[in-house]
Structure 1
Amino acid sequence: MDINMRGMRPPYQPSWIDKKTGEKRKSPTWWIAYSVRGKVVRESSHSTKESDAWKLLKKRHGEIENGKPVGPDVQKTTFNDLAAMLTNDYKANARRSLARVEDAINHLRGFFGADKAIEITSDRVTEYIARRQEEKAAASTINNELAALGRMFTLAVRAGKAASKPYITKLVLSNARKGFFEREQFDSVLAHTPDDLKSMLETAYITGWRIHSEILTREKKHVDLKAGWLRLEPGETKNGRGRNFPLTPRLRDALEEQLARTEALQKATGKIIKWLFHRDGEPIRHFRRSWVTACVKAGLGTRITDSNGKLVKAVAHRIPHDFRRSAVRNLERAGVPRSAAMDMVGHKTMSIYSRYAICDESMLKDAAKKLDILHRADQRDSNGKVMAK
C-alpha cells in the first residue's frame, strides 16, 4: 500500500465464534480504530475493500490533527439535532426573535427534515434556495432562513456534532424598503395622531430606535433629564449592548411633555405609572389603526373604495420602521461620524448601517456643491490666484 500509515492501527475485519457451530467467522466489512482524546473509537468503513478502510482511516487521522470533530456521532447528527441546538441556544440566551427563527426552522425542515448533517452540502443549500424562490418567498426571508441554517452548523461544529459547515451564499437583496420621512411629512402625520402617541413617535423619529422592543419598553427611570440621556440597559437591545441617546432640544421637549402628562394622570387617578409611553397608564401594545389613519390624512396613504364609494380598506405608504431609516439619514446629513451614529441608533455592523444610510437627492446635490467648491479652488492662474469664485 502506497499510503503512509506508520504508527496507525491497520484496518481489520471483526471475527467471532458462531455459538451454534463453534466455527470462527469473519465480517466481510472492514473496520478502523483510532483514538480521540484518549478514547478508542471503532468505526465501520461500510466497505468490503481494505483500501477503502485505509482511506477512511487516513481521513480520520487528518481530521484529528486539524482539530475537527470525528467519529460515528458526527455521522449520526441529523437536521432535527441541528434545529434543536439552535432553538435551545435562542431560549438559553432569551432572544426575542425566537418566534422568527422557529418559523425559519419550519421552512428548513420541510426540505432538510430527513437529512443528516453531513448530507446538507452547499449543493443541497442551493437546491433549497431554488425551491423557496419557486414558492415566491422574498429574498430577505430566504436569507433569514439561511442565516438560521448557518447558525445551526456553527453550534454543531462547536459542540463536536458536525465536522464542518457548508458554504452558504446569501441572496442579494433587491426588495429592501427605502421609505423615509422628511420633517414636514412627519409633522403632518403627527398632527393627525392621537395625543397618547405623539411623544412616542417623536422619540422614534429622532432616535431611530426600534419602537416595540426599545421605545415602548422604556420606563420613566430611563429618562435622565439632568444628565441629558435616554437610556437602554444592557441586555435590552437586539445586540445585547446598552445604549444612550443624548437629549436634543426637540427630544427633551417631547419627553418633558410626556412626563408632565403622566404626572397629571397619576394625580387624577391616584395610581403609579412606571411606563414612559402609555395609553391611560397601560402599556401601548398596538397602534396600527391610528397609524394608518394619520398617514392617509397626511397624504401618505390611500383609501381604497368599492364601486359604490364605500371604504374597503386604508393603506399607509409609510411604516413605523421608516423612522429608523430617517434617523440614520438625518445623522448622515448632520455630518455625525458613522461610529457615533451607529452607537446612537444601535447598528452593530457597518454593513447593516450602510443599508439604512441611503443618499437622497438633497444629499447628492449638497455633495455636488462641495465638489464644485473644490474644483473652483483648483482653478488658479499662473500667479497662483483663484480664477473663479
Structure 2
Amino acid sequence: MDVNVYKRDGSPFYWMKWYFSGKLHRQSTKTKNLKKANLIAKDKEQELLRHAGISGVAKIPFKEMMEQVLLDYKANGRKSFHIAELKVKILYAYFREDTKIVDITERNIQEYVSYRLTKCKNQKKEPIRPATVNRELQLLKRGFSILHQRKMIGAVPTIQLLREDNIRKGFFEHWEFLKLMEKASEHIKPLVTFMYFTGWRFSEVVNITWDMVDIDNGVITIPPGMTKNKKGRHYYMPDNILEMIRDIWSKRVERIRINESAPDYVFTNKNYTDRIKDIRSAWENSCKRAGLNGKLKHDFRRTAARNYVRAGVPQRVAQELLGHQTASIFSRYNIVSDQDLRDAVKKQMEYMNNQTKNRPIEIPPEGFREWEPMIKKMNENYEKEHQEGIKYLREKYENVVEVDKEGKVKVLQGEGFPNETDKNLHEK
C-alpha cells in the first residue's frame, strides 16, 4: 500500500493519495515542505498498514506470497504440487503478481469467486464448478496462513469456501467391466484389471515396481509415503490377478534375456520404455468403443468399495484395503446403484406377498365384532340358567346334595337323583 505525495492545484500544501479497498483516498499534509510531507506520508503508510493488520516490513507482493505456498507444497511432498502451480497462474491472472497483499481484501476475494463462477469456462466449455474454485481459494488461505504463522501479518482475511454438490457417484457393474475389457487397448488391460479388483488409486498403481511384488507369496506391498494417507498397504492377490502378474513378469524376463528395455515398473507403456503416465486418450477411446461414455478411472474405486460390502467384507477391513483414512470417506465410496434400489423393492414385495399368503386370522378389536353382542347374551343366559339350576337342586334335594360356593354339586347320600332329568341337571 503506497502513499504518494503530490502538489494539488489551488492549495499551498502538499497532499497525499493512496488506494485502499479499491477506492482512491486523498489527505492534506498541511505542510509546504516536501521533505516533511514525505515523512508524513511515510507515517500515514505505516498507519494504514497497521490498520490492515500488516507490519510495515511486510508490504509483500502477491507473487511472493504464492511462491511461499508452492515452496510449502514442494517441501511437504504434496502430490498436487503441479496442479497447484496451474491454479496459482489462474490467481495471478486475476489479482496480478505485483499486487500488494494488503490490497487483497475480503471483498476482492468475493468478486474473484463471482468472476470464476459466472465468466469462466473449463476445457469442456462448461461453467467452472464450486469445487474448482474452492481449490483455488484454499491456496489463497494457505498463503495468508503461512505469513501469519511467520508473524509477517497480524490478521488473515476470512475466506469462505463454497458448498460442493458435485460428489461423483459413478461405478462399474461387472458386465460393464467385461465389456470394457473386450474393447480396451491392449497395453492398458492389465492396469485396468488391477484397478477394478483392488480399487487402488491410479497414481498408486502406476508407481508399483517389481521390488514391491512377492510373486512366490502372492502379495504386493506398497510402502508408506507412496499412498495418499502416507500408510503402507498389502494386497494378497487372488488367482486371476496373480496369474496376470506372473504373465507380465515372464514377458519382462524374456525382454531382459534378449537385451531389450524392461523398466522396473509393473505397468509399463506400450513401448516398454517407462511406466504408464497418462491413459486419458486410451481410456476415453476404449470407453467409447464399449459404449460406456462418461466413465472414469476413479469409478473403479467406488466399485471396489461397493463390491467389498456386498461380499460381506467388514467395513474396517475394506477401508484398510482401499486406503481410506476415515469411515466417512469410505461411506461416500460405498455407492448404492439403481439395481440396488430395485433389488430392495423386490425383496420388500416378496416379504409382503409371503406375509399375505400366511396371514393369520385376525380378530377385530373388542367392540367392533358383529357377533360380540350375541356372545355376550349367550354368556348371560348361561349364567342365569346355572344359578337357577343350583337353586332348584338345593330346594328339592336339601338333604341329598351339597352345593359349594363355586356351584359344584356333591351327592351326600343314596345312589343319586331319583329321576334322569335331575341327574342331567347335576352333570351340567
- Report the TM-score, using the length of structure 1 for normalisation: 0.66
Aligned: 1:171 with 2:162: yes
Instruction: Rate the CA distance shift 1:374–1:110 in 2: closer, same or farther, 3 A.
Output: farther
In structure 1, C-alpha distance between the alignment counterparts of 2:195 and 2:77, rounded to whole Å: 25
Q: State whether residues 262 and 273 of structure 2, in contact with CA within 8 Å, keep that contact through their aligned partners in structure 1.
A: no
Aligned to 2:92, the other structure's residue is in SS state helix
Aligned to 1:106, the other structure's residue is in SS state helix
The equivalent of 1:257 in structure 2 is 247
1:302-322 CA deviation, whole Å, 9 max, x = no partner? xxxxxxxxxxxxxx4323232
Aligned: 1:296 with 2:288: yes
Larger mean Cα displacement after TM superposition, 322-331 or 110-119: 110-119
User: Structure 2 residue aligned with 1:225, among 206, 212, 215?
Assistant: 215
Q: State whether residues 111 and 128 of structure 1, in contact with CA within 8 Å, keep that contact through their aligned partners in structure 2.
A: yes
In structure 1, C-alpha distance between the alignment counterparts of 2:265 and 2:72, rounded to whole Å: 31
**RMSD of aligned C-alpha atoms?**
4.0
Aligned: 1:362 with 2:353: no
Aligned to 1:275, the other structure's residue is in SS state coil
The equivalent of 2:137 in structure 1 is 146
Aligned to 1:72, the other structure's residue is in SS state coil
Aligned to 2:94, the other structure's residue is in SS state helix
Q: Give the 5 Å matches for 1:61-76.
A: 71-73=55-57, 76=59
Aligned: 1:207 with 2:184: no
Instruction: Rate the CA distance shift 1:117–1:331 in 2: closer, same or farther, 3 A.
Output: farther
Q: State whether residues 309 and 334 of structure 2, in contact with CA within 8 Å, keep that contact through their aligned partners in structure 1.
A: yes
Q: How many residues align?
A: 313
Aligned: 1:332 with 2:323: no
Shift of 1:268: 4.6
State the AA in 1 paired with 2:152.
Answer: K
Aligned: 1:237 with 2:227: yes
In structure 2, C-alpha distance between the alignment counterparts of 1:120 and 1:348, rounded to whole Å: 36
User: Structure 2 residue aligned with 1:110, among 93, 99, 117?
Assistant: 93
Determine which structure has more spread, i.e. the larger CA radius of gyration: 2
Q: State whether residues 202 and 254 of structure 1, in contact with CA within 8 Å, keep that contact through their aligned partners in structure 2.
A: no
Instruction: Rate the CA distance shift 1:265–1:160 in 2: closer, same or farther, 3 A.
Output: same
- Report the TM-score, using the length of structure 2 for normalisation: 0.61
State the AA in 2 paired with 1:220.
Answer: W
The equivalent of 2:295 in structure 1 is 318
State the AA in 2 paired with 1:106.
Answer: K
Shift of 1:271: 5.6
Aligned to 2:234, the other structure's residue is in SS state strand
Shift of 1:82: 1.9
The equivalent of 1:159 in structure 2 is 150
Shift of 1:86: 0.4
The equivalent of 1:311 in structure 2 is none
The equivalent of 1:187 in structure 2 is 178
State the AA in 2 paired with 1:105.
Answer: V
The equivalent of 2:111 in structure 1 is 127
Aligned: 1:344 with 2:321: yes
Shift of 1:141: 1.4
Instruction: Rate the CA distance shift 1:97–1:188 in 2: closer, same or farther, 3 A.
Output: same
User: Structure 1 residue aligned with 2:47, among 20, 45, 48?
Assistant: 45
In structure 1, C-alpha distance between the alignment counterparts of 2:210 and 2:40, rounded to whole Å: 75
1:288-312 CA deviation, whole Å, 9 max, x = no partner? 4443343233222xxxxxxxxxxxx
Shift of 1:202: 0.7
In structure 1, C-alpha distance between the alignment counterparts of 2:142 and 2:325, rounded to whole Å: 18
Q: Unaligned 5+ residue runs, structure 1? A: 1-19, 21-26, 32-42, 48-55, 61-68, 301-315, 382-389
Instruction: Rate the CA distance shift 1:219–1:28 in 2: closer, same or farther, 3 A.
Output: closer
State the AA in 2 paired with 1:146.
Answer: L
In structure 1, C-alpha distance between the alignment counterparts of 2:251 and 2:209, rounded to whole Å: 14
State the AA in 2 paired with 1:291.
Answer: W
Shift of 1:29: 8.9
In structure 2, C-alpha distance between the alignment counterparts of 1:72 and 1:227, rounded to whole Å: 64
The equivalent of 1:24 in structure 2 is none
Aligned to 2:244, the other structure's residue is in SS state helix
State the AA in 2 paired with 1:189.
Answer: L
Q: Indicate the percent of aligned positions where both proteins have the same amino acid.
A: 30
Larger mean Cα displacement after TM superposition, 350-359 or 94-103: 350-359
Shift of 1:100: 1.0
State the AA in 2 paired with 1:104.
Answer: K
The equivalent of 2:256 in structure 1 is 266
In structure 2, C-alpha distance between the alignment counterparts of 1:343 and 1:319, rounded to whole Å: 23
In structure 1, C-alpha distance between the alignment counterparts of 2:41 and 2:265, rounded to whole Å: 70
Instruction: Rate the CA distance shift 1:286–1:29 in 2: closer, same or farther, 3 A.
Output: closer
Q: State whether residues 117 and 162 of structure 1, in contact with CA within 8 Å, keep that contact through their aligned partners in structure 2.
A: no
Shift of 1:88: 1.0
1:194-241 CA deviation, whole Å, 9 max, x = no partner? 443222111111122222x22122111111234443222222233433
The equivalent of 1:101 in structure 2 is 84
Q: State whether residues 55 and 154 of structure 2, in contact with CA within 8 Å, keep that contact through their aligned partners in structure 1.
A: no
Q: State whether residues 203 and 254 of structure 1, in contact with CA within 8 Å, keep that contact through their aligned partners in structure 2.
A: no
State the AA in 1 paired with 2:306.
Answer: R
Instruction: Rate the CA distance shift 1:164–1:46 in 2: closer, same or farther, 3 A.
Output: closer
Shift of 1:249: 3.5
